[in-house]
Amino acid sequence: MAEKEESSQAGENKTELQIIKELVDELYQFKDCYFETHGVEEAGRKPDDVKQKMEEILKKLEEKEDSLKNKVEFLMQKGRCLNVAPDYSAAAEECLSRAVKLDPCLVEAWNILGDQYWKKGDLIASKNCLTGALQQEKNKVSLRNLSMVLRQLPAANNDEHGKRVLESVDLAREAVQLDVSDGTSWFVLGNAYLSLFFTCGQNPQFSQQALSAYAKSAEDKIASSTPDLHFNRANLFYYEEMFGCALEGYSRAAALDPNWEEPREKEKQLLEYLEKVSELIQNKGKVKTRRLRTMLSSLNTSALGPCSSPQFRSPSGRVGSLEPRSLSSLPHGHNAGVAAMGKVVFSLASQGRMAFTFGMVDSDETCIVVMVYNTADTWGVLIGDTVVIPEPNVKRHSITHKDKSYDFKSIRVDSPLLLIVNGKKQNVQSQIPVSVSYENRQKLKETH
């Protein structure tokens, strides 16, 4: 008879624990799918709505705490409930620490505890939790979260940081392979490739892999409502001079999180930059006609400097002198075997350490904007300088965003070392690698 009573009580406990899990599942469903039941115009209410929902469910959990407080599953679900908030919770850490002590094989509890340590700023403890979880079972959450932690850990030198970034890419790839439909894993992989791109020599293949991973993430309904995804992808679009896509990304991130100022500020900065560039191209840097003609009168083939030598090695590896061409005759894309040449008529400081921008006019008085990347803070060109661009890469920009339109051509230069300024090559101190930040603002992304 006693055995039957014990069995019946176990059955009741199982039911109670199942109810608790379903309540917490409902909380995460509410948060992750918020925009399925609310319009984007209500995005500003989301943090308060999620907090209110968390407090309601927490109250229901606490009503059952006396009978279940020593149960591992109850402790984990309470910790998981508290973990929905973006900030660190000492109560969540306590629940989860007790849960993993009672059952060291509980992978999900280790993952959520790792999340709490991340929020607390204790990256080493977070790493240890995730590594421990992976020793129990290979799972996508531990893999992708460990990928994030590795990229944030302080490194003694660039080599150590580079190795960690490479390892983080491998971990994020593994997470994706375990579930190719999980948009959060694709988002973390995109961030890993973005970090790899700027850590390991800006190989274009890595930026394309980052964009591909972000595109996969954006197909997922949960990941696509994450403002960080749109913001990170917009930063990379900006670097790749896909300005229209960047503006859309910043705008979307701002709409999804109206309390986050940075996307709105970035959108505003980029619009102001495009406005300024368009205006300066149109009026040739506001240089007066007489002064401009005086400047251009000294522009001749002698300005080619080393580019006129038969031994000149172009950025593409081609050996031989370059033929000067007018700016209007340059087709879009890479122009092998030729050089663009002109006088500087305006310059703009780099926007958020992105590109040093200047405008130059050639002998035909055609004006084009030049965007130079990886420049040191001390590097620049002055109005009146003669600039030669070997094998220029010409782009056409046609952008429309929020009733604003911009249409202009530019030349992209990946390093100041590729330019000839006043007949001279630039010294190595003129170059410093640019970096583009990516966001993991809220927490380690958890799938429930």
- Answer yes or no: do 98 and 246 share one domain: yes
Mean per-residue pLDDT of the chain: 91
Tokens 């630039």, residue located: 426
Domain shared by 219 and 260, yes or no:
yes
- Report the residue count for the chain: 448
Does residue 269 sit in the same domain as residue 123? Answer: yes
Q: What is the CATH number of the domain that holds 353?
A: 2.40.50.550
Question: What pLDDT sits at residue 10?
Answer: 45
The answer to the question of residue 445 being in a domain is no
CA atoms of 231 and 249, how far apart (whole Å)? 6
User: Both 264 and 295 in a single domain?
Assistant: no
Do both 269 and 295 map to the same domain? no
Residue 398 has pLDDT above 70, yes or no: yes
> Are residues 244 and 122 part of one domain?
yes
For residue 436, is it within any domain?
Answer: no
Q: Please report whether residue 35 resides in a domain.
A: yes
Structure-block tokens of residue 415? 């390093």
pTM (two decimals): 0.90
Question: Of 243, 273, 303, which closes a domain?
Answer: 273
Same domain, 312 and 261: no
Q: Domain residues for 342?
A: 285-427
pLDDT of the residue at 440: 59
- Domain check: are 216 and 300 in the same one? no
Query: Domain for residue 10, yes or no?
Result: no
Q: What is the pLDDT of residues 371-397, one digit of tens each?
A: 999 998 889 999 999 999 999 999 999
Q: What's the pLDDT tens digit per position in 21-67?
A: 999 999 999 999 999 999 999 999 999 999 999 999 999 998 888 77
Query: In the numeric block, which tokens belong to residue 60?
Result: 């229901």
pLDDT (mean) for 6-26: 71
In a domain, 4, yes or no: no
- What pLDDT digit, counting tens, does each position of 73-131 carry? 999 999 999 999 999 999 999 999 999 999 999 999 999 999 999 999 999 999 999 99
Asked whether residue 60 falls in the same domain as residue 200, the answer is yes
The strand pairing partners of 358, in sequence order, are 347, 370
Distance CA 383, CA 286 (A): 11
According to DSSP, the residues that pair with 339 across neighbouring strands are 324, 390
Mean pLDDT of 357-361: 97
Give the model's confidence band at 70: pLDDT under 50 very low, under 70 low, under 90 confident, else very high.
low
What confidence score (pLDDT) does residue 57 get? 96
% of the chain surpassing 70 pLDDT = 92
Tell whether 170 is covered by a domain: yes
Q: Is the pLDDT of residue 71 over 50?
A: yes
Q: Taking 50 as the threshold, does the pLDDT of residue 11 lie above it?
A: no
| 195-215 residue pLDDT tens | 999 888 888 999 999 999 999
Question: DSSP readout, 248-312?
Answer: HHHHHHHHH-TT-HHHHHHHHHHHHHHHHHHHHHHTGGG--HHHHHHHHHT-SGGGGGGGGSTTP
* Overall domain count for the chain: 2
Q: Is 8 a residue whose pLDDT tops 60?
A: no
Residue 312: which residues within 8 A CB-CB, separation 6 or more? 306, 319, 320, 321, 322, 390
11 domain residue, yes or no: no
Average pLDDT over residues 147-167: 92
In terms of DSSP H, where are the helices of 283-393?
A: 289-297
Same domain, 83 and 46: yes
Q: Give the range among 9-13, 74-78, 201-205, 307-311 with minimum mean pLDDT.
A: 9-13
Residue 205: the pLDDT is 94
Is pLDDT of 9 > 90? Answer: no
- Whether 435 is covered by a domain: the verdict is no
Residues 86 and 212 in one domain: yes
* 174-184 residue pLDDT tens: 999 999 999 99
- How crowded is the C-beta side of 321, counted as CA atoms within 13 Å? 11
pLDDT at 315: 84
Q: Is the pLDDT of residue 4 over 70?
A: no
278: tokens are 């368009």
Residues 190 and 223 sit within 8 Å (Cβ to Cβ) = no
Q: Going by C-beta distance under 8 Å and a sequence separation of 6 or more, which residues neighbour residue 221?
A: 33, 36, 183
Token pair recorded at residue 368: 């084009």
CATH value at residue 231 = 1.25.40.10
User: Above 90 in pLDDT, residue 426?
Assistant: yes
Task: Tell whether 342 and 235 lie within a shared domain.
Answer: no
Task: Identify the pLDDT of residue 65.
Answer: 80
Apex CA 26: angle with CA 121 and CA 34, to 5°? 75
Has residue 419 got a pLDDT over 80? yes
